[in-house]
Amino acid sequence: MPELPSSVEEYIGVPYGGLFGETVITHVVREIVADPEREFRPRYLAKMTGKSNVSVRDALDKLVDQNIMTKEYMDPQRPVYRVNPGSKRLDALTFLAYAVIDDREGTHCMRDAVFEYCRREVAFRFAGEHEREKGVSYTGASPRSLLRGSQANPGRYAESGGG
């Protein structure tokens, strides 16, 4: 493991290595990037981040405004927040989280994640272009689930039921 300068050591526990400061929203984003498949409630994130329920709810609402999260009301008193699966911003924040780890520990997590993401995107686009003419469809994992190492749905071509 590489030796860290003392100026970097103070930011080890801060989201994104202190790049965005130590704001509530950066702590919330760190938790979301760490487990994007989860349903989030303000109380849970307040407990995880050590921030107040009100400030966490405000941060989540900003992420909804930015189209990074969606908000659903199963109970009017306790909304549920979920990651927007099409959010490229969250993909970029995920890559940045890996970059911080790589810089700190000398690993290649981001390189591997970007490679896997690009491989999946090419396969997805190829499948989309040829789906109509070949009767083939593609099912694959979201970029964030594959970045976390999930191979539960590794993506595959499957013949569709027509023609």
DSSP codes of every residue in 6-25: HHHHTTTTSGGGGTT-S-HH
Res. 42: pLDDT tops 60: yes
Q: Do 120 and 154 sit in the same domain of this protein?
A: yes
What CATH number is attached to the domain comprising 77?
Answer: 1.10.10.10
What's the domain count of the chain? Answer: 2
Distance CA 46, CA 57 (A): 9
Which of 89, 117, 133 lies at the terminal end of a domain, its last residue? Answer: 89
113 vs 162, residue with greater confidence: 113
Domain that holds residue 121: 108-159
Q: Do 154 and 120 sit in the same domain of this protein?
A: yes
- In this predicted structure, what is the pLDDT of residue 159? 32
Res. 157: pLDDT tops 90: no
Number of Cβ atoms within 10 Å of the Cβ of 37:
14
Q: Are strands 69-75 and 78-83 parallel, antiparallel or unpaired?
A: antiparallel
The answer to whether the beta carbons of residues 146 and 123 sit under 8 Å apart is no
pLDDT tens profile 49-106:
999 999 999 999 999 999 999 999 888 788 999 999 889 999 999 999 999 888 888 8
pLDDT tens profile 109-156:
999 999 999 998 888 888 877 665 555 444 444 555 555 554 333 333
Distance CA 125, CA 138 (A): 9
Structure tokens at 141: 């994992």
